[in-house]
């Protein structure tokens, strides 16, 4: 081993141990041969470095592998109870999430129950009538319900809740039928309960006098890390300017809080043996109150190590502090290695630690001063200007290092690259520091005088608005970001998997067509994220029929895309979703096309034909469903949507039904009819059927007969509940079908 390399390793003796620890966890988790070979290489290098480094590396790898193995083992054992009804007693381990029309979600740490889940964390869905609210963290609770496995994502590029829960140590969920909250805080969760109560108090104090404003949302996001509710424009501005990281309480926030209080205590002439322990306590308190996020806890550990080193008159080493905090974090929770927040946090700090000085030299021209000019001769204004240039140079160097350290991971996880963030972060960091300081002042003063605290909040609102203005300015600069947009080019048809009998399809053809969009909640959770992350273009909306689970999401789509036209069916004034859609379209001046049998050209070789528009007097929304045939370079896809009995009679009496013969039949299940009769399927003679299952579960005998008939006819059948969303493309004049769910991750 070269002496320079060996000396470099000996200066940071924890580098190889943390590398061995991370590789051991990765090897156990993925069973990767490459990871095992890399771990072996690290151990060999440690052997050649020193005995101390070798021992630390072997111990770290052994602990990491053992801890992660037993963690995964217990999570696998919990899945043995799937579809079984159980009684469990546990403690609410995280703030419950409540939302209208949905059961309350809470992660519960099981104290007593079946052996497979005892000591495990599960996701509980608790009916609203049991009144479990955000302040219930730490409360003991009894639950009875059925164990399920969280569903994997059924639609392209939406939030992977199953993977997210897995990395939080949750492998199963429980659909509670009964619950009983003891309203008693467990001794093990006293700190969690105190932190949550402190968080609620902090939220109330910081928004006093500015409730409901965008500024209040920004303040809570920056100080507490709370994602702004109904703040899509705010999130987009910060995301597109590359400064969204200021909304996640991370090492930056913790170190700023530590800096603010250290300066304040030093000004009060506090000796180091007093102010250092106080600042360490404040940093950990802030990290705990804001949710004990891994980046915040890591920064608190690092900050504590650096301050203790200063207290002991030792020269702190940033790399060694970084490796030590990483070892502690990974041994505390081995799943942390796979969390984007953990990876981004350490990638940024590693880049700063090893490239910061290099970038500082690159930006030395900003604070250049003639080396032969005595500083004592500088005027007061010149000294201030020089100091400002020096700080700007340092901030720019740190910002550049951080961007290069995080850009690859951000691209891999979010498909976004924002070089403008290097410049945007320069003024925003000063704004964030000012905002955090003002928040601390508001909390301190507001505790004594609520009226004065409110006045400070109103002043802080201007700071928050300034931060938003900066992000909006940089996000509006053209050609300053690049986002992966696989659906902005090429041709495809995506049939979404929507629950509750809803439906949605996206035609990446021409300017982009959205045929139905589920209800408002489904659109926001499933469809919009999928479309936006894939860079989908949409200029035409089609409402198949006035059913809330098909049409309501289209109103939200009007605000999210530059819509030029909308095709609507015969309506019903009793349908509020239908009337709201028409009203919103009129307000935006969008061309509204009423249903009639016609053909809509899309692009060269592609057209959308409206083959059936039912009479307006049909009593059921499903019987007023429009039927479309997509003519796509010689291939035909027939969208029946949720058409009911009236369509069946129309098809039987139609003389030229053979002209409807499609290659693909997209079939929604009418909740009264169940499905098209096999005779009708025979008349249509499709090669492929894509169907929903919501109202027609496979365990019913009628469903089994229908599915058996389809398969005996040689028709390829996709049931969306099993396959997830279907993406259809054309290659060499043949249709290709890609399912979102693979056999390995089917629910």
Q: Domain of 181: which CATH number?
A: 2.40.50.140
Residue by residue, DSSP assigns 512-563 as -EEEEE--HHHIIIIIHHHHHHTT----EEE--SS-HHHHHHHHHHHHHS--
- SS3 label, residue 122: strand
Strands 726-731 and 734-739: antiparallel
Residue 243 — pLDDT band, cuts 50, 70, 90? Answer: confident
Query: Is residue 373 located within the same domain as residue 513?
Result: no
pLDDT at 1: 67
pLDDT at 171: 93
Exposure string of 726-747, with b = 16+ CB inside 10 Å and e = fewer, is bbbebeeeebeeebbbeeeeee
Query: Is residue 608 located within the same domain as residue 541?
Result: yes
Query: Is residue 449 located within the same domain as residue 500?
Result: no
- Say if 191 falls within a structural domain: no
**Listing from the earlier edge strand, what are the strands of the sheet with 513-517?**
591-594, 565-568, 540-542, 513-517, 504-508, 492-495, 726-731, 734-739
Domain edge (last residue) among 482, 504, 526: 482
Inter-residue contact 227 to 235 (CB < 8 Å): yes
Residue 672 has pLDDT above 80, yes or no: no
Residue by residue, DSSP assigns 68-89 as HHHHHHHHHHHGGGTT-EEEEE
Mean predicted confidence (pLDDT) in 377-396? 84
Q: Residue 532: name the closest of 469, 473, 569, 488 by CA.
A: 488
660 secondary structure, DSSP code: G
Query: Is residue 524 located within the same domain as residue 600?
Result: yes
Mean predicted confidence (pLDDT) in 326-337? 91
What are the backbone angles phi and psi of residue 134, rounded to the nearest 5°? -60, -30
646 Cβ neighbours under 8 A, 6+ residues apart? 614, 615, 618, 623
Termini Cα distance of the chain: 51
Tokens of 146: 């059925």
Residue 369 has pLDDT above 60, yes or no: yes
CA 197 to chain centre: 26
What is the spatial distance between Cα 59 and Cα 39, in angstroms, rounded to a whole number? Answer: 13
Residue 556 — pLDDT band, cuts 50, 70, 90? Answer: very high
E strand or H helix that includes residue 282: helix 272-289
* CATH code assigned at 538: 3.60.15.10
Residue 618 has pLDDT above 70, yes or no: no
Domain edge (last residue) among 387, 417, 447: 417
Tokens of 106: 């809470």
- Say if 657 falls within a structural domain: yes
Burial label, 615 (beta-carbon count in 10 A; 0-12, 13-18, 19+): exposed
pLDDT at 236: 83
Residue 45 has pLDDT above 80, yes or no: yes
What is the reported pTM?
A: 0.84
HSE-CB of 214 using CA atoms within 13 angstroms: 14
Tokens of 579: 């009337």
Exposure string of 356-366, with b = 16+ CB inside 10 Å and e = fewer, is beebbeebeee
- Say if 744 falls within a structural domain: no
Query: Is residue 13 located within the same domain as residue 150?
Result: no
Q: Minimum mean pLDDT among 281-290, 360-369, 699-708: which range?
A: 699-708
Residue by residue, DSSP assigns 439-473 as HHHHHHHHHH-HHHHHHHHHHHHHHHHHHHHHHHH
What is the spatial distance between Cα 555 and Cα 574, in angstroms, rounded to a whole number? Answer: 17
Inter-residue contact 247 to 224 (CB < 8 Å): no
- Say if 747 falls within a structural domain: no
- pLDDT tens-digit map of 186-220: 888 888 888 888 888 898 999 999 988 999 999 99
E strand or H helix that includes residue 680: helix 678-684
> Which own/partner contact pairs does 284-288 have at CB distance under 8 Å and 24+ positions apart?
286/253, 286/254, 286/257, 287/249, 287/254, 288/191, 288/195
Query: Is residue 334 located within the same domain as residue 425?
Result: yes
What are 522's strand-pairing partners?
none
Query: Is residue 476 located within the same domain as residue 502?
Result: no
Residue 617 has pLDDT above 70, yes or no: no
Query: Is residue 370 located within the same domain as residue 233?
Result: no
pLDDT at 697: 56
Region for 293 from its dihedrals, namely left if φ exceeds 0, alpha if ψ lies in -120 to 50, beta otherwise: beta
Q: Residue 329: name the closest of 312, 345, 310, 308 by CA.
A: 345
- Say if 18 falls within a structural domain: yes
- Say if 615 falls within a structural domain: yes
Write the CA distances from 245 to 442, 465, 471, 588, 705, integer angstroms.
23, 17, 12, 34, 54
Domain edge (last residue) among 482, 503, 521: 482
Mean predicted confidence (pLDDT) in 666-681? 68
Inter-residue contact 579 to 564 (CB < 8 Å): no
CA angle 31, 34, 40 (to 5 degrees): 100
What is the spatial distance between Cα 487 and Cα 492, in angstroms, rounded to a whole number? Answer: 8
Residue pointed to by tokens 């929903």: 692
* Higher-pLDDT residue of 615, 278: 278
Tokens of 541: 């909306």
Tokens of 1: 């081993």
E strand or H helix that includes residue 67: helix 51-78
Query: Is residue 638 located within the same domain as residue 712?
Result: yes
Query: Is residue 566 located within the same domain as residue 581?
Result: yes
- Say if 637 falls within a structural domain: yes
Inter-residue contact 209 to 425 (CB < 8 Å): no
What is the spatial distance between Cα 18 and Cα 42, in angstroms, rounded to a whole number? Answer: 10
What is the spatial distance between Cα 200 and Cα 216, in angstroms, rounded to a whole number? Answer: 14
Mean predicted confidence (pLDDT) in 323-333? 89
In the predicted model, what is the mean pLDDT of the chain?
86
pLDDT at 663: 94
Write the CA distances from 256 to 222, 241, 282, 283, 352, integer angstroms.
12, 21, 11, 9, 16
pLDDT at 620: 65
Query: Is residue 315 located within the same domain as residue 206?
Result: yes
- Say if 295 falls within a structural domain: yes
pLDDT at 626: 87
Residues in the chain: 747
Region for 605 from its dihedrals, namely left if φ exceeds 0, alpha if ψ lies in -120 to 50, beta otherwise: left
Query: Is residue 256 located within the same domain as residue 241?
Result: yes
Give how many domains the chain has, as a whole number.
5
Share of residues in the chain with pLDDT > 90 (%): 39
Residue 531 has pLDDT above 90, yes or no: yes
* Higher-pLDDT residue of 655, 368: 368
Residue 88 — pLDDT band, cuts 50, 70, 90? Answer: very high
Number of H helices, E strands in the chain: 24, 23
Share of residues in the chain with pLDDT > 70 (%): 92
pLDDT at 135: 65
Mean predicted confidence (pLDDT) in 56-60? 95
pLDDT at 481: 84
Domain that holds residue 57: 3-78
pLDDT at 527: 95
């Amino acid at each position: 081993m070269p002496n320079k390399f060996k000396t470099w390793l000996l200066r940071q003796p924890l580098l190889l141990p943390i590398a061995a620890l991370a590789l051991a966890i990765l090897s156990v988790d993925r069973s990767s041969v490459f990871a095992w070979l890399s771990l072996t290489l690290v151990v060999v290098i440690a052997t050649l470095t020193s005995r101390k480094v070798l021992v630390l590396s072997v111990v770290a790898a052994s602990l990491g592998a053992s801890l992660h193995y037993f963690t995964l083992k217990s999570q696998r054992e919990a899945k043995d109870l799937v579809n079984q009804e159980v009684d469990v007693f546990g403690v609410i381990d995280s703030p419950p999430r409540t939302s209208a029309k949905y059961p309350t979600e809470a992660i519960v740490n099981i104290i007593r129950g079946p052996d497979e889940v005892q000591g495990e964390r599960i996701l509980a869905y608790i009916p609203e009538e049991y009144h479990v609210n955000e302040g219930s963290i730490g409360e003991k609770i009894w639950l009875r319900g059925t164990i399920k496995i969280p569903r994997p994502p059924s639609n392209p590029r939406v939030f992977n809740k199953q993977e997210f829960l897995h990395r939080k140590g949750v492998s199963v969920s429980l659909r509670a039928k009964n619950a009983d909250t003891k309203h008693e805080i467990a001794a093990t969760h006293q700190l969690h309960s105190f932190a949550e109560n402190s968080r609620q108090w902090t939220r109330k104090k910081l928004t006093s006098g500015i409730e409901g404003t965008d500024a209040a949302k920004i303040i809570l996001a920056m100080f507490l890390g709370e994602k702004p509710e109904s703040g899509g424009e705010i999130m987009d501005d910060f995301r597109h300017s590359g400064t969204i990281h200021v909304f996640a309480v991370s090492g930056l926030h913790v170190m700023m809080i530590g800096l603010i209080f250290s300066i304040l205590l030093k000004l009060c002439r506090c000796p180091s043996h007093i102010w250092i322990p106080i600042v360490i306590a404040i940093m950990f308190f802030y990290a705990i109150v804001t949710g004990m996020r891994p980046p915040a806890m890591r920064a608190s550990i690092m900050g504590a190590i650096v301050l203790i080193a200063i207290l002991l008159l030792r020269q702190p080493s940033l790399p060694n502090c970084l490796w030590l905090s990483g070892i502690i974090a990974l041994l505390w929770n081995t799943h942390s290695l796979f969390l984007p927040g953990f990876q981004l946090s350490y990638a940024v700090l590693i880049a700063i630690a090893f490239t910061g000085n290099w970038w500082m030299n690159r930006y030395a021209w900003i604070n250049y001063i003639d080396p032969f000019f005595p500083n004592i001769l500088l005027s007061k204004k010149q000294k201030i200007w020089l100091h400002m240039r020096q700080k700007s140079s340092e901030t720019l160097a740190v910002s550049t290092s951080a961007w290069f350290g995080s850009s690859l991971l951000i691209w891999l996880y979010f498909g976004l690259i924002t070089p403008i963030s290097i410049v945007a972060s320069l003024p925003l960091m000063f704004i964030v520091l000012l905002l955090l300081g003002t928040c601390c002042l508001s909390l301190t003063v507001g505790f004594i005088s609520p009226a004065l605290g409110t006045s400070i909040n109103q002043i802080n609102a201007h700071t928050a608005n300034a931060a938003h203005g900066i992000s909006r300015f940089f996000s509006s600069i053209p050609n300053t970001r690049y986002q992966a947009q696989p659906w902005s080019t090429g041709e495809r048809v995506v049939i979404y998997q929507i629950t509750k009998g809803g439906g949605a399809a996206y035609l990446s053809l021409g300017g982009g067509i959205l045929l139905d969009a589920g209800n408002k909640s489904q659109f926001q959770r499933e469809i919009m994220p999928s479309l936006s992350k894939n860079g989908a273009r949409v200029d035409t909306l089609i409402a198949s029929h006035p059913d809330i689970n098909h049409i309501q999401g289209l109103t939200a789509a009007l605000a999210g895309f530059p819509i030029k036209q909308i095709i609507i069916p015969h309506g019903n004034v009793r349908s509020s979703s239908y009337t709201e859609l028409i009203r919103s379209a009129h307000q935006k001046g969008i061309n509204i096309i009423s249903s009639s049998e016609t053909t809509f050209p899309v692009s060269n070789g592609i057209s959308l034909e409206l083959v059936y528009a039912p009479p307006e007097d049909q009593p059921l929304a499903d019987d007023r469903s429009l039927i479309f045939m997509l003519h796509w370079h010689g291939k035909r896809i027939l969208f029946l949507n949720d058409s009911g009995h009236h369509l069946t009679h129309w098809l039987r009496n139609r003389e030229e039904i053979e002209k409807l013969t499609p290659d693909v039949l997209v079939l929604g299940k009418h909740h009264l009819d169940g499905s098209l009769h096999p005779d009708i399927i025979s008349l249509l003679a499709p090669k492929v059927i894509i169907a929903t299952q919501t109202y027609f579960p496979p365990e019913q005998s009628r469903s089994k007969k229908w599915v058996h008939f389809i398969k005996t006819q040689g028709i390829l059948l996709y049931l969306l509940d099993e396959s997830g969303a279907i993406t259809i493309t054309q290659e060499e004049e043949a249709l290709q079908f890609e399912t979102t769910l693979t056999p390995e991750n089917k629910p």
